Every structure is written in C-alpha cells, then in structure tokens.
Structure 1
Amino acid sequence: MNNVTSGVIAKASHRKKIHDWIVVIILIMLLIAAFTISANTGTIRLSPMELFKTLLGQGTPQQELILFEFRLPRMVISILIGAGLAVSGCIMQGVSRNGLADPGILGINAGAGLMVMLFVLLFPSMQTTNSLFLLPGLALIGSGAAAILIYALSYKKGEGISPTRLLLSGIGVAAGISAAMIIMTLKLTPESYTFVANWLAGSIWGSNWKFVMALLPWLIILLPFAYYKANVMNVLNLGDQTASGLGTPIERERILLLAAAVGLASSSVSVSGGIGFVGLVAPHLARKLVGPKHKMLLVTSALVGALLVLVADTITRSLPLQKEIPTGLIVAIIGAPYFLYLLSRSKG
C-alpha cells in the first residue's frame, strides 16, 4: 500500500513539474511575442524579419538607430524592472505571509522616491551627467530606511510580524512620505517638477543603455540570491514556530530576504519611476499558474512581471495621443481593481 501511495505521489509530482515548465515556456513565448510587437511599435515599422536582421547587424543604418538607440534600451529596461518588482513583491508576500504585500503599497517605493526627489532638488542637472549611476544606491537608502521603519512598527515581541500591522504600517509610512514629497515639490524648478511628476506617475524615464547598465548589476546579484533562498521562503510560510522547530534562523533569514526585496524594488523604481501594483499582481497570477512553491513561483513571477510592464509600456507608446502617458498609469488600471478584489477577499 505504501509503495502504491508513493508511486501515485511521484507521478503527481512529475506531472506537476511538467505542467510548471509548460507554463514557463508559454510565458517565455508570450514575452518574445510582446518583444517583437513592442519593437515594431512606433512611427517607423520593423517587420519581424527586419527586426531579426537588425538584431544580427544586417539592418539599414536607420533601422539600427531606431532599434538600438531608441526602442531596445527601453524594452530591456521594461523587462528588467518588471522582473525586479515582481520578484520583490513575491519575496515580501512570502516573508510576511501577507498576500497584499507589495513594494508600492507598503511604502518601499515611496522611500525610494523621496531620495530621488531630494537628489533632483539638490542636483537638477542629474539627467545630463553620469550621476544617474548614483540613483539605485540613493533609492536603496531611502527604501531601506522606509523598510526598517515599517518593520519596527509592524513587529511585536512574542508575536513577530502581524500581516495586518505590516499592511497598515506600510500604508501609513507611504502616506507620510508622500505628504513630505508634495511639500518638497514647492521648491522644485518647473523642469525638475515635470521630471518628478512623470517619475511619480511611473514613467520609464531612463531609456538608454546607461540606465540599463546602472540597473543590471543589482538584478544580476539579487535575483539569483532570491532563487537561492526559495526553500527558506517555503519554510517561513509554514509559520514562525514550525520554521524555528526546523532549525531556521527566522529573524536573520527574514531580514536578508527583506533586504533583497528592498534592493530589487529600489533599483527598479530608480529608473522606472513609481510603478505600482506589479509586485502585487504578478506573484498572485504566478501563484495561480504554478502554485505556492517558491522555486517555480519566483521564476514565473519574474516572467509575468516582465510581460506586464513590457505590454503596458507598448500600449503607452501606441496610443494616438499628443503626449505619451506614463506606463505606471496603464499598470495601475490593471492593478488597482485587482488590489481591491484581493482586499475584499482578505480575512486579516
């Protein structure tokens, strides 16, 4: 009987792995399709064959200029920040055991935005200098400070982190930081105010290869680290008492994971602006596709987040408007109703 049961479990596990990999392959194919459509979005069209030839260096000078200098950097940044924000949200939801956790909702993005605004206020010529490489570090300081404050407010000795306190503390800190940022806008020049307004709305303002290089090192380090800690997040989801009984140093692992989540979120928003809801929507959609185990959940979340932001950015560039609307508004149109839906179903 035990052998029969073990065989059934093994077959079910094998089918689950096949299903999960099929989901990943489908998402990769959708991402490639969205990439092709995005590269062909604009005044000058590039057919799939022209796109392929240009990527191989066989396009015309005009096609290479359009693709490599204007479209491709922005598309790569959209993919990177989508993956970074999605994995950040996935980590936060896993560590806090709160399905409503998200870098934007919990005030992490607001902390990063405060430091970016301070930098713009003190150094208004930032976009024309190499100082843009300081932005991820500055955003990390701001979001890290916000995360420490939120953690301190939501933690209670003997109980750990309460999901309700975490959510409410994050919303309160985000509201306070937003109020401070509104006051600071009164001292900005018109040019700096326009930049900050677009940043807060989630405009992908960093659209050249320098911004890609400023963002890429953070993701190269933190995304593999998050995947490496997938089993730890699985254990933490069992509850503090069970995780402690299994020998997991709960507080140390929680701090390390939150630091990784903060680093991913802050580096992403430093070049993308205050794009919200990606870290909320992508992990939930991924969880419906592959389940709660974090090894596949993190990979699927990254792909869903990258696809979401790339599609949203493509939509903003294809709308027949005189002025391009921020990508964050399109994401918010999708994310805000979904957040309200999740909030209505939340029991905590």
Structure 2
Amino acid sequence: MTAVATEIARAPAHGRAGRLAALVLLLGAAAVTGVALGSSSMTLDRLLPALVGQGAETDRLIVWGLRAPRVLLSALAGMALALAGLLLQRATRNPLAAPTVLGISDGAALGAVGFLFLFSDSANSLTVSIYWQPVAAAVGAAVFAVLVAVLARGAGGGPVGLVLHGFALGALAKAGVTLLMIVGPVYRASQASIWLAGSVHEARWSDVVVLASLMALILPVLLILTARMDQLLVDDSSAEASGLPVRRTQALLIALAVVLTASAVSFVGAIGFVGLVAPHAARLLVGTRALPAIAASALVGAAMVVLADIVVRLAFAPLEVPTGAATALIGAPYFLFILFRTGRAHA
C-alpha cells in the first residue's frame, strides 16, 4: 500500500454517510428555525403556507422578503469560509490555518471597504456597480495572503510563526478598515462596521444570487481537485513521487481559498473562526479524505453561521449584534487550544 493510500485508510469510513446525512438534517433544521424565529415568531401553521407562497401576505413578506435571504446568505457564507479553511489547512499542512487566522479575511475586508472609499461620491453614493466589490475583496485577500506567506517563509517560522505573521497583518488590515470608515466618505458608512465583525442582517436576494453563483463555479473545481488534495496528506517527497506537482497544487488551493474568502467577506464581512473550526469538526466526523471532508466542512460551516445568526438575533433583540461575535465565542477558545497543542508539538 502506498503512503497516500495508508493515510487515507485511516479515515473512519464506517458511518460516514450517516454522519453526512445528520449534518444535512442539522442544517435543514437550523434553516427552518432561522426562518421561523425572530421579532415576530411564526408557528408551523403560518410558516409552511408562507414557504409555498400562500397564507397571509405579511407572513410571506417576513419569510421571503426578510428571513429567507438572511438564512441562505448565512449558509452560503459559512460554506465558503469553511471550505477556504479546509483548503488552507490542506495546502499548508497546518492545523491552525484559516482565513481569519492568516489575515486573509481582514485583507478582504480592507479591499471591500477600500472599494467603497474610492468609489463613493460626496453624497455617499457609489459611482460604480456594487458587484465590483468582490473583485476588490479578492485583491485585498490575495495581497495579504502573499504577504503572510513571504514574511513567514523569510522568518523561517513553523506553524506558530505563520499564525503570528497572520495576526500581525490582520491587525494592520483592521486598522486600515477603521481608518477608512472614519475619514470617509464611504457608501453606507453607518453600516460599514459589518466588515469588522461580520453580519448578515442586511441580506438581500441579489447578494444571495451572486454568492450562490460564485459557489456554483468553485465547487466543481474543488471536486476535480479531490485526488490532488488526498495526495497532499503526505510529505512533499512522497506526494511528488506519486506524480503530484506539489507547489502548483498548493498555490491553486490557496488561490481558491482566497476567492472563497473574498466572496463571503464581500457580503457578510469578516466572520471569524468558521474556517478554523468547521474543517476540524469535519475531520473528526468523516476523516481526512478530501471528498467527504469537503461535504462535511461545507455543511458544518453553513450550520455554524446560521445558528450563530439565530443566537445573536434572539439573545440581543432588538439590537443587531454582529454574527461574528457568536462564532468568535466558539472559535477563539478552540483556536487557543489548537495553538497550545501545536506549540507543544513543535517545542
């Protein structure tokens, strides 16, 4: 048996389909709950007719005009961030790698707010289409991803060193976002704070369509790359011996992670730690093989953001608290645990 096959064989194949089915049910239940609950909670006898376009007009407006796009945007953003984290962890072989941890989310946020700053007029209106914003976010994310990689490689640091450079550059990006919000004019400046912590309370169907379209383009590419991702489970020498162009594959996975991060951040802001926690949870549930890991990571990430939005929506009503605050409560302690364990392993 080859080294790659040996590593893949460690994945818990038994019960994998059942665990994925359970994740689908969890996400479905979370989505229904997210549509039903809010300032005006709806019972099933009101919710079900509204979902199929019947029932009271007010119920249909609440479901399809307000809550459905919010839930769908939460799920899509969670999927994108979780998959970005999976790709980064696989490409760098670093369990600490994630868009937030490496400063990529904050770089994307800086690109998005920089776009609003550059293309807003004195009346705080955009002078170009808002749909150029994902491009600006992608540029910001790519710049910070390259900077983190170059600085970490130059310093010769291991996984912990990579994280420290990511945090430093992420703090720099946050400072840039704050500065641009202050000096303005920025289009919808009063709402621009979502790029600091992440929020879905202004979700629109147009946002859902754009993000869903981007995900539909990226997911087939990920499925094509599953064999290469499995080969990356082993060291460079073994992977190259199996015919894998390691450096090109790693660069491609990181580029896809940048695009996924930028796509999510453009519409919901820098929701933290989803890209760290979701791939780890997926690995515990379905193992390391790429195809089930992609499915499980996407489902866990989507459920995390949908549930986090429900929590902040109900716990702090009528205030709109950023969804990223809830994900940070889960992700930050877990990150510290992984950081401590990784630091001891490389001591």
Amino acid at match of 1:40: A
Once the two structures are superposed, what CA deviation does each residue of 1:268-298 show, in whole Å capped at 9, x if it has no partner? 0110111010000111111111111121111
Match among 169, 175, 180 for residue 173 of structure 1: 169
Aligned equivalents of 1:104 and 1:301: distance in 2? 16
Q: Specify the code of the residue in structure 1 equivalent to 2:267.
A: V
> Which amino acid letter does the alignment assign opposite residue 131 of structure 1?
S
Runs of at least 5 residues in structure 1 that lack an aligned partner in the other structure = 1-12
Aligned to 1:5: none
Q: Which structure 2 residues correspond to residues 291-330 of structure 1 after superposition, within 5 A?
A: 291-330=287-326
TM-score scaled by length of structure 2: 0.89
Indicate how the Cα distance of structure 1 residues 228 and 191 shifts in structure 2: closer, same or farther if over 3 A, else same.
closer
What is the aligned partner in structure 1 of residue 56 from structure 2? 60
- Alpha carbons of 1:191 and 1:105: their partners in 2 closer, same or farther (altered >3 Å)? same
**Amino acid across the alignment from 2:144:** A
Secondary structure of 2:15's match? Answer: helix
What is the correspondence of 1:1-348 to structure 2 with a 5 Å cutoff? 16-124=12-120, 131-155=129-153, 162-189=158-185, 192-346=188-342, 347-348=345-346
- Which SS does the other structure have where 1:274 is aligned? coil
Q: How far apart are the structure 1 equivalents of 2:197 and 2:58?
A: 32
**How far does residue 71 in structure 1 lie from its aligned partner after superposition?**
0.5
Q: Aligned letter for 2:329?
A: I
Cα pair 1:87 1:223 within 8 Å, conserved: no
Deviation digits for residues 301-346 of structure 1 (CA, Å, limit 9, x no counterpart): 1100000000000111112444121100011111111111111111
Q: CA-to-partner distance for each residue in 1:122-149, whole Å, 9 max, x for gaps?
A: 3347788882211211111111111122
What is the rounded CA distance, in whole Å, between the counterparts of 1:209 and 1:171 in structure 2? 33
8 Å CA contact 1:199–1:205 kept in 2: the answer is: no
Equivalents in 2 of 1:345, 1:335: separation in Å?
Answer: 15
SS in 2 for 1:43: coil
TM-score by length of 1: 0.88
Output the amino acid matched with 2:251. Answer: I
Q: Which residue of 2 aligns with 1:6?
A: none
Matched-pair contact (CA < 8 Å) for 1:95–1:237: no
Answer whether contact 1:98 1:163 (CA < 8 A) is retained.
Answer: yes
Amino-acid identity (%): 35
Aligned AA (1:136): P
In structure 2, relative to structure 1, the CA distance for the partners of 1:185 and 1:129 (3 Å cut) is closer
The answer for unaligned runs of 5 or more in structure 2 is 1-8
Asked if the contact 2:39/2:318 (under 8 Å) is kept, the reply is no
Structure 1 window deviating more from structure 2 (71-80 vs 211-220): it is: 211-220
Q: Within 1, Cα distance between the matches of 2:223 and 2:44? A: 33
Question: Over residues 196-227 of structure 1, what are the superposed CA-to-partner deviations in whole Å (9 max), with x where a residue is unaligned?
Answer: 22321212254110111221221111123223
Q: 1:53 to 1:229 in 2, by over 3 A?
A: same
Amino acid in structure 2 at the alignment position of 1:39? V
Would the aligned equivalents of 1:133 and 1:211 in 2 still touch at CA under 8 Å? Answer: no
Residues in 1 aligned to 2:124 and 2:16: alpha-carbon distance in whole angstroms: 44
Q: Relative to structure 1, is the Cα distance of residues 126 and 188 closer, same or farther in structure 2, using a 3 angstrom cutoff?
A: closer
The alignment partner of 1:186 has SS state of: helix
Deviations 1:26-59 (A, max 9, x none): 1111111111111111233322343232222222
Cα RMSD of the aligned pairs, angstroms, is: 2.5
Aligned mates of 1:275, 1:288 — CA distance in 2:
23
For these two proteins, the number of residue pairs brought into alignment is 334
Cα distance 1:115–1:46, how it changes in 2: closer, same or farther (>3 A)? same
8 Å contact kept, 2:282–2:296: yes
2: CA distance, partners of 1:37 / 1:330: 17
Partner deviation per Cα, 1:242-279 (whole Å, 9 max, x = no partner): 11111111111111111111111110011011101000
What secondary structure is seen at the aligned counterpart in 1 of 2:37?
coil
- Any idea what SS the aligned residue of 1:58 has? coil
Q: Which amino acid aligns with 1:23?
A: R
Shift of 1:189: 4.8
CA contact (8 A) 2:230 2:289 kept: yes
